[in-house]
Structure 1
Amino acid sequence: MTKPLEKTVRTPSAMRAPIQEMRAFNRFYTNLIGALDYSRHLYVPYTLTESRVLYELAHSPHTDAADLRVALSLDAGYLSRLLAKFERDGLVERAPSAPDPRRQRITLTTRGRDAADLLDERSREAVGSLVADVPAAERVRLTTAMRTVRDILEGTGRRRGGVRLREPRAGDLGWIVQRNAALYAAEYGWNTEYEGLVARIVADFAQDHDPHLERVWIAELDGHPAGSVMCVRDKNPGTARLRLLLVEPDARGLGIGDRLVSACVGFAREAGYREMVLWTNDVLAAARVIYQRHGFVLVDEKPHRSFGADLVGQDWRLPLGDRPA
């Protein structure tokens, strides 16, 4: 009889105490906030997620739906239903974005702003009552300790790839062209033929794309672009194409490439594509490992002379399901 697999992960002894303390603190703080919510009905008649959306809209008056989805890490379908509910309740208004009519701008109505202000006031009062019970001499210690925890974990998050994926802003598409050209020239000696290819791909997207079926992600680290990827429609019906995956050299090893591919595949699946394909070259070994990790399978390869180099081009494919695009 085959024995079941056993877990082989071993926690280093030096990590056990911090892990236990962090888990204990997490349970304590979650219970504390939950008790405040229960006793004071902080979010009634809204859910916690609905309250987060109202808060974000109140503090970001020029918000597009796509940016809101990225900022709060929400499923596109769920956010769309939530905003439709808010619109029916007279809390928000939706209209085409002035910079890009294909995007949807979300603004709070007077009623929506009143609701957001009420939720904010309840939260301040609840936390204020909690802090009021802390002796004055301990409040500085408390706030300092909380700031220290945040600073340490934010630094840890950066080292582990704690980046923000966002929609492109003005200038980002040009950055994609420039960085692709510069990096591949420096690392592989590719000539301007590759820059021309990237420029055409980006220009085609900028001039005509369906935001429901095509998208660009920018990975931002410390406020600066650190990577990018694109999902565009392929010529074959029901097929999405992953293009121009890029991670800056000083940001590699943080899991950025993996997050970009994950976002691209998730979007394609959610949009209803049946499969995703990509074309790459065998010299890009690090990217190939990421594609394989996400289930892409090599379906064809052939040698070619491009970008001033002898290369082996590869076609990869990932089935996404049977839903029609």
Structure 2
Amino acid sequence: MSTDTDLVALVRSASRTMVRELGFMQTTLAATDYSPSAVHTLLELDMQGALTAAQLVQLLGLEKSSVSRMLAKLAAAGEVTECAPPAGMAADARIKPLQLTAQGRRTAAAIHRFGGQRVEAALQQLSPTVQQTVAQGLNAYAGALQSCRQGQTQEPTQGQAIPPLVTLHAGYRPGVIGRVAEMHARFYARHAGFGALFESKVAGGLAEFVGRLDQTGNQIWCAMQQDRIVGAIAIDGQDLGQGQAHLRWFILDDGCRGSGTGRRLLQQALAFCDRQDFAATQLWTFQGLDAARALYEAHGFALVHEAPGSQWGHAVTEQQFTRTRPSAGATPPAAKA
């Protein structure tokens, strides 16, 4: 498929203007004393919770020596500190996860405020319709650039209306416990006959997990449509132990099904698992959810166990799926009770 050369030139010109106007030509960024790479490091640590230097090399596309020097400066400035490795994994002097200090979290919050104010000021000069077009277009273009870097391809679509913009956010969002419990309750009531017992277990388990989000190896992502949560996925790095990650609470609002949002959420969660060096990722579901199973299997999960169960108040055939980290050869654990 060929692309109009005038369109390519227009996008390139706009990209150069954005780079200049957003301050990336300067030695510091976002009203800080830090370089663009340091600012992006602070934001990634704020979103992901903890990362190693090797993981930051991959995320930022920088040389190892440059990342090492930059991290040393951030540590000396009191912005980052070493933290414990993921639960169930032995400490390794060569792999030292880093996380933000209290000062680092304040700095990241200030960067978010600065960036938000810049974007808001620019968007206010556009009509609401153009604002949505800009947000949707930039989101799609950024995703396409990322796919090119990762060697992936996306099939272009024609004649389809642009769906409402859905953005992904890592970490706690106000209302996430109730909203995720609601989406689970509605979906599984229709598809499996689950009732109050199931909803209460989802809400209780998620509430307990949210209290552990500050622990290394735990993270949740929300798909947001403006201020509304329309999807979620979580990685619990503590409850299984043995270097295993537990994929939990993966759910979408009915209006987002088929939009690719679920795939994006799953990819975010699995990329997090790989950066955290979990040997394998486990998930539990039940027979009959064919679309979900196809998505799991497309991302490296395999069915390893199934058996009848009624822990949710209704008899189903429960299934365990396992994805082994690409560079690991760990043996999956026995099925979870």
TM > 0.5: yes
Query: In terms of Rg, which structure is larger?
Result: 1
Indicate whether 1:266 and 2:251 are aligned.
no
Q: Does 1:188 align with 2:188?
A: no
Counterparts of 1:281 and 1:207, CA distance in 2? 27
Q: What SS is found at the alignment partner of 1:213?
A: coil
Q: Over aligned residue pairs, what C-alpha RMSD do you find?
A: 4.4
Alignment of 1:78-97 (within 5 A): 82=70, 85-88=73-76, 90=77
Alignment of 1:290-305 (within 5 A): 290-305=295-310
Deviations 1:223-267 (A, max 9, x none): 211111111134351111111100000122221111111111111
Summarize deviations over 1:81-118 as a string: whole Å, max 9, x none. 65652352x48588xxxxxxx98442349xxx9xx9xx
Matched length = 261
Q: Distance in 2 between matches of 1:179 and 1:251?
A: 12
Q: Which amino acid aligns with 2:74?
A: F
Give the distance between the partners of 1:207 and 1:240, measured in 2 at CA.
Answer: 17
Change (3 A) 1:278 1:53: closer
Q: Which residue pairs with 2:155 in the alignment?
A: none
The verdict on how the C-alpha distance between 1:161 and 1:319 changes in structure 2, with shifts beyond 3 A counting, is farther
Shift of 1:188: 3.4
Q: Aligned ranges for residues 213-252 of structure 1 at < 5 Å?
A: 213-232=217-236, 233-252=238-257
More helix by proportion, 1 or 2? 1
Equivalent in the alignment of 1:132: none
1:254-309 alpha-carbon deviations (Å, 9 max, x no partner): 21111111111111111121011111112222221211111101112223345444
Q: Sort the Cα spacing of 1:22 and 1:309 in 2 relative to 1 into closer, same or farther, 3 A.
A: farther
Q: Does 1:322 align with 2:328?
A: yes
Structure 1 gaps, min length 5: 1-9, 57-63, 95-101, 125-142
The percentage of counterpart residues that share the same residue type is: 22
Aligned to 1:66: 46
Give the conservation status (yes or no) of the 8 Å contact 2:177–2:203: no
Cα distance change, pair 68–194 in 1 and its aligned pair in 2 (3 A): closer
> Who is 2:7 aligned against?
22
Amino acid across the alignment from 1:25:
L
Query: Given the superposition, is the C-alpha separation of residues 36 and 238 from structure 1 closer, same or farther in structure 2, using an over 3 Å criterion?
Result: closer
Relative to structure 1, the CA distance from residue 285 to residue 292 in structure 2 (aligned partners, 3 Å threshold; closer, same or farther) is same
* Alignment partners' CA distance in 2, 1:150 and 1:194: 40
Q: What residue identity is the alignment partner of 2:290?
A: A
C-alpha spacing 1:182/1:35, structure 2 compared with 1 (3 Å): closer
Question: Does structure 1 residue 175 correspond to structure 2 residue 175?
Answer: no
Q: Judging changes above 3 Å, is the alpha-carbon distance between structure 1 residues 52 and 184 closer, same or farther for their aligned structure 2 residues? A: same
Partner of 1:197: helix, strand, or coil? Answer: helix
Q: What is the identity, as a one-letter code, of the residue corresponding to 1:322? A: A
Partner of 1:50: 38
Maintained 8 Å contact 2:304/2:320:
yes
Distance 1:53 1:315, change over 3 A: closer
Q: Is the 8 A contact 1:168 1:216 kept in 2?
A: yes
The C-alpha deviation readout for 1:121-163, integer Å capped at 9, x for no partner, is xxx9xxxxxxxxxxxxxxxxxx769x98654242455728642
With CA pairs under 8 Å and 6+ residues apart, which has the higher RCO, 1 or 2?
A: 2
Q: Deviations over 1:31-87 (max 9, x none)?
A: 56678999x962269643335678x8xxxxxxx9524889xxxx6687996565235
Q: 1:277 to 1:43 in 2, by over 3 A?
A: same
Secondary structure of the corresponding residue to residue 268 of structure 1: helix
Give, in whole Å, the separation in 2 of the partners of 1:229 and 1:223: 17
Amino acid at match of 1:296: F
Question: In the superposition, relative to structure 1, how do residues 41 and 175 fare at CA in structure 2: closer, same or farther (>3 Å)?
Answer: closer
**Which residue of the partner structure matches residue 283 of structure 1?**
288
Aligned to 1:154: 135
Shift of 1:27: 2.4
Q: 1:133 matched to which residue of 2?
A: none
1:237 partner amino acid: Q
